[in-house]
Amino acid sequence: MGSNPIRPARMEGRMVSDMKEKEFSILDHELVPQHIVLSKKEAEEVLKKFNIQPEQLPKILTTDPVVKAIGAKKGDIIKIIRKSKTASKAIAYRLVVEEEAISPVKDIVVKEFEEE
């Protein structure tokens, strides 16, 4: 209900034609796990605990909607706490990066494609 530009959405019994009125916090959605930006000290403790460098962590993009919502910046480490049926909760860590850090091959492929 509401993504059709010809038929505006209804919110709380009234018509909504301006998309800004439909905004909501992605962090409040039941399927989005809790995300916490670690302090520098907490990040160092996690890296020491697992004996790893930040680059060895799984990555999350600066463009990710949750990253934007929590105000995380490139280089931050995020703690993600998910509900788990078997362990009650599962904790994961992600390094915030820009897209280039994940797919440096992308530029090469695009350049080769453009040359053809």
Domain CATH number, residue 92: 3.90.940.20
What confidence tens digit (pLDDT) does each residue in 58-94 have? 999 999 999 999 999 999 999 999 998 888 999 999 9
On whether residue 13 sits in a domain, the answer given is: no
On whether residue 88 sits in a domain, the answer given is: yes
> Taking Cα atoms as reference points, which of 87, 70, 89 lies closest to residue 78?
70
Q: What was the pLDDT predicted at 25?
A: 82
- Total of domains in the chain: 1
DSSP E strands, the chain: 9-11, 14-16, 34-37, 59-61, 77-84, 88-97
* Domain of 38, in residue numbers: 33-115
On whether residue 109 sits in a domain, the answer given is: yes
- Model-level pTM? 0.67
What confidence tens digit (pLDDT) does each residue in 91-116 have? 999 999 998 766 655 555 555 555 55
On whether residue 86 sits in a domain, the answer given is: yes
On whether residue 16 sits in a domain, the answer given is: no
On whether residue 90 sits in a domain, the answer given is: yes
Q: What are phi and psi of 27, to 5 degrees?
A: -70, -20
